[in-house]
Amino acid sequence: MKEEFFIKRINSKHIGDDGAFIDGKVYASDSFFEDIHFKREWFELDEISYKASLVNLSDLIVMNAKPKYALIDIGFPKSLSLHEIKLLASGFNKAAKEFGYEIIGGDTIKNEKIAISMTFIGESKRPVFRKARLNEFVAFTGDLGSVDRDLKTLLRGGKVPKTSKFITPKLRDEFFYKASKYITSACDISDGLFKELERISKISNVGYEFLKKIPKNMGCSGEEYEILFTFPKRNLSIISNLAKLTKTKITVFAVTKRGKYKSICKENHF
């Protein structure tokens, strides 16, 4: 619980969501470090920088913010060749082009391993926070569990396809931007579904009545970067139609109720 302990030492009303919403802008930051979040043998260098970008973009998307600018702080070993550094840069540029934002600066340092920290600035006229209401449907996008499975395969020395969500997360930006006006709360599933449910529970003072059983391997799978969200029951048909329109699978699995919820998963951090 060191992450939560540290965060509680910082006094700010803006902490608690996927990003900080201030005066129409959303600020989000995330890190992607070698041998903590990935091993070099698992990724091409451009895949490393591309995934680092997507991980940060996920935070903006679930707050209904469009990315505008990014800052990159990166440390890399002296042993990296100019060609390899060019590959790293190409992954950052690929994400910026696809999602329409500008990389405006940052810092570079020498480091023993690849270490990436990115800060994004987005704009939102109607931000979505983690504050759910009582008697709402709870849902998530996509399928869960494959990232945990693929990570275990890699740790055993096996290989996974390039289409694996562990290699390239699938962001649901098209669906969420269209559906956001009908959604009450949301967060990305970075630390596992059950952990994100606990976060919304604490912030919103709600518990859950499960309509479907979620297996532990699905509920504890981290780095999925699917979207967990709640919405008024009256919006079910609209949400379902927007999911079909954008070819996004959604699973409605619970209803918010009075109470508390505690995750059964081990911490993914440290």
Tokens of 122: 């987005």
Whether pLDDT at 166 is above 80? yes
Q: Quick one: which of 262, 185, 196 has its CA closest to 226?
A: 196
Please check the confidence at residue 267 and state whether its pLDDT lies above 80.
Answer: no
What's this model's pTM, rounded to 2 decimal places? 0.94
At a CB cut-off of 8 Å and minimum separation 6, what does 95 contact? 49, 50, 53, 54, 57
| pLDDT for the residue numbered 241 | 98
Of the candidates 90, 94, 71, the residue with the CA atom closest to the CA atom of residue 82: 90
**Section 228-236 average pLDDT:** 98
Asked if 117 and 211 count as a contact pair (C-beta separation under 8 A), the reply is: no
- Whether the pLDDT of residue 224 is over 90: the answer is yes
Q: Which of 200, 76, 90, 193 is nearest to 141 (CA)?
A: 193
d(CA 17, CA 63): 8
Mean pLDDT of 216-232: 96
pLDDT tier at 270, thresholds 50, 70, 90:
very low
Q: pLDDT tens, 123-138?
A: 999 999 999 999 999 9
Q: Is 101 a residue whose pLDDT tops 70?
A: yes
As a whole number of angstroms, the distance between CA 49 and CA 46 comes to 5
The residue to which tokens 């956001």 are assigned: 180
Arithmetic mean of pLDDT over the chain = 95
Report the alpha-carbon distance of residue 268 to residue 166 in Å, rounded: 14
User: Are the CB atoms for 225 and 170 separated by under 8 Å?
Assistant: yes
DSSP 8-state class, residue 161: -
Express each pLDDT in 41-68 by its tens digit: 999 999 999 999 999 999 999 999 999 9
Question: First vs last Cα of the chain: how many Å apart?
Answer: 9
265 pLDDT exceeds 50? yes
* Two structure tokens written together for 60: 């903006």
DSSP codes of every residue in 212-254: S---HHHHT--S---EEEEEEGGGHHHHHHHHHHTT--EEEEE
Output the pLDDT for position 3: 75
3-class SS letters over 45-114: HHHHHHHHHHHHHHHHHCCCCEEEEEEEEEEECCCCCHHHHHHHHHHHHHHHHHHCCEEEEEEEEECCCC
Calculate mean pLDDT across residues 30-40: 92
Mean pLDDT of 85-105: 97
